[in-house]
Amino acid sequence: MDEIEQQPGTSGGTGPRPWNGDDARLARFSGVVGEVRDPLTWGLDLEDESLTGLADSDDPTCERFVRAYRSFTGEALEVETLRTRVPDDDVEDVVRAACSGALAAPLHADIAAPVEPDPSGAAGGPAGGTPDFADSFQDYRSAMRALVAEVDEAPLHEGTFAVDGDDAPCVRVTARDTTAVYVAAADRALVVTGPADLVDRVEVVTQQVDDLLTGKPRRRRGGEDPPPAGD
């Protein structure tokens, strides 16, 4: 996943730098992408902004524009924009994979963390030894299998999800209080993933990707421009 260059933003975290329009992949993504309107309202800060995928992939979910947010309490919420919509038969796989991925993120962080020597030998090994990585990896695999199985067994729900203030048909799954929602937006699709209560409260909107990355104010619905700063 390629990160887009960022600079300090108005939300206190990171914000967009001017978009290089010569970037072929960003040019292919020309159009709308999803974001959380006024993240600070929901206690969120933009943590990462990235583009992933290859244009020659047969996987319609490969090319994604991702905006990742982090709450002040450490909870993660992501709004992913898929460049193309997913065939109806594949929506379930996409939404379940998103939910599994969100739940697995802490496990990935744990297994990727450097293993520090235990000077006291408290873990059962000799002083100055290291924890058994093989045991840690087996624990990780077991936890992952249990997690994926739980998400696969969770019921899938069809309903609506608001984008730009309008309710749109969606498919969602919830496991361990984490929700993933797939919803169509314009000629694209959004996947919103995070804590169930937060996903249901945030206001998700779309914006032209070039406006978003160049930091232009979001145009109001109906095409009306926002008032100048300071008015």
What pLDDT shows up at residue 217? 65
pLDDT > 70 fraction of the chain, expressed in percent and rounded: 67
What pLDDT shows up at residue 19? 47
What pLDDT shows up at residue 162? 96
Please determine, for residue 84, whether its predicted confidence score (pLDDT) is greater than 70.
Answer: yes
pLDDT-based confidence at residue 105 (cuts at 50, 70, 90): confident
Spans of all domains in the chain: 2-114+131-223
Q: How many C-alpha atoms does 13 have within 13 Å on its Cβ side?
A: 15
DSSP-assigned states of every residue in 19-80: P-TT-HHHHHT-SEEEEESSGGGGTEEEEEEEEE--TT-S-TTSSEEEEEEEETTS-EEEEE
The H or E element that residue 97 is part of is: helix 91-112
| Highest mean pLDDT (candidates 66-75, 113-122, 142-151) | 66-75
DSSP-assigned states of every residue in 187-203: TEEEEEEEEHHHHHHS-
Tens of pLDDT along 8-66? 343 444 444 444 444 677 777 888 999 999 999 999 999 998 888 776 667 778 889 99
Closest to 71 measured CA to CA, from 1, 7, 11, 5: 11
What pLDDT shows up at residue 18? 45
Its pTM stands at 0.75
Burial environment of residue 150 by CB neighbours within 10 A (0 to 12, 13 to 18, 19 or more): middle
What pLDDT shows up at residue 56? 60
pLDDT-based confidence at residue 97 (cuts at 50, 70, 90): very high
Residue 215 DSSP symbol: T
Closest to 194 measured CA to CA, from 111, 108, 47, 71: 71
Residues 6+ apart with CB under 8 A from 219: 207, 211, 225, 226
Phi, psi of 11 (to 5 degrees): -85, 0
Query: 87: helix, coil or strand?
Result: coil
Q: What is the mean pLDDT of the chain?
A: 78
Please determine, for residue 220, whether its predicted confidence score (pLDDT) is greater than 90.
Answer: no
- Show the CA angle centred on residue 64, arms to residues 107 and 40, nearest 5°: 70
pLDDT-based confidence at residue 134 (cuts at 50, 70, 90): low
Length of the chain: 231
Tens of pLDDT along 178-187? 999 999 988 8
Please determine, for residue 106, whether its predicted confidence score (pLDDT) is greater than 60.
Answer: yes
How far is residue 26 from each of residues 7, 11, 12, 30, measured CA to CA in Å? 18, 24, 25, 7
Residues 6+ apart with CB under 8 A from 173: 95, 96, 99, 151, 154, 155, 156, 157, 179, 180
Comparing 100-104, 127-131, 189-193, 216-220, which segment has the lowest mean pLDDT? 127-131
Q: How many C-alpha atoms does 225 have within 13 Å on its Cβ side?
A: 6
What pLDDT shows up at residue 166? 95
Closest to 221 measured CA to CA, from 168, 164, 161: 164
